[in-house]
Amino acid sequence: MPALPPALRRASAAALLLTAAAAAPVYAPDAAPCERHLQPAHTYHAHHHTFTTDDSGRPVEALARKLVDKSATRTGCQGTVGDWGGRGDWNGGHLIAASFDGVGLRYNLVPMQGRQINQGLMKRVEDGARSCLEGGGSVADYRIRLRYPDRAALAPDQIRITLSVSRKLEFTLPNRTLPAEELASHEERITKAFQEARCSARTVSVTRR
């Protein structure tokens, strides 16, 4: 059988990619109120992502099987969730960033310390993951797990992020105000991990997702 001309081969490859993308499950975002507690022990779906609540109805896990660099619409729930952090520098932080098609609904939002965590360490991890997507790269099994200090808390005290690029990366971040030395240590660890994975973490900006 004669070989296909290069142009036809490229067209065939593009058609296969489009077919695969069309076959991938895409969920319209499940509705959820912007309330402190959602349905307990429940799984929500939005786009290609899944979200799980604990037995108190708090977000406890988010998963993107394949990360995409695509912006999602923001909502007013982000500010409401930030207010639940109490006094101080709190934001309503996305588990899966809006810049990764993460929805602005309660199951994807928790109170996060603002400049250091939400706009700082979380942003640094996301920028590193985004750099892995450049040049046709991929990021798989991007997962965020939360730990709460007690059953009444709405703000998690620990954020654990895992993702697979050329290797599996894992980061455990505190959700509190950090001394400068501890903050710098986390920043260095994140940057080094992406460099060793042959991605380059970008410079962190002061804006957030």
| Tokens found for residue 85 | 């952090």
Q: For 44, phi and psi rounded to 5 degrees? A: -110, 150
* Segments of 30-105 assigned E as strands: 43-46, 49-53, 59-66, 90-94
Domain extent listing, the chain: 24-196
174: left (phi over 0), alpha (psi -120 to 50) or beta: beta
SS3 144: strand
CATH 3.30.530 is right for the domain spanning 24-196: no
* % of the chain with per-residue pLDDT over 90: 77
Residue-wise pLDDT tens digits, 4-27 = 555 444 444 444 444 444 444 677
Q: What angle do CA 146, 147, 148 make, to 5 degrees?
A: 120
Q: Which residues contact residue 31 at a Cβ distance below 8 angstroms, ignoring those fewer than 6 apart?
A: none
pLDDT of res. 22: 42
**Burial code of 20-42, b = ≥16 C-beta within 10 A, e = fewer?**
eeeeeeeeebbebebeeebeeee
| Tokens found for residue 90 | 């709190």
Residue-wise pLDDT tens digits, 23-52 = 446 779 999 999 999 999 999 999 999 999
pLDDT of res. 121: 99
| Tokens found for residue 9 | 């081969």
pLDDT of res. 201: 55
Averaged pLDDT score across all residues of the chain: 88
Average pLDDT over residues 187-196: 96
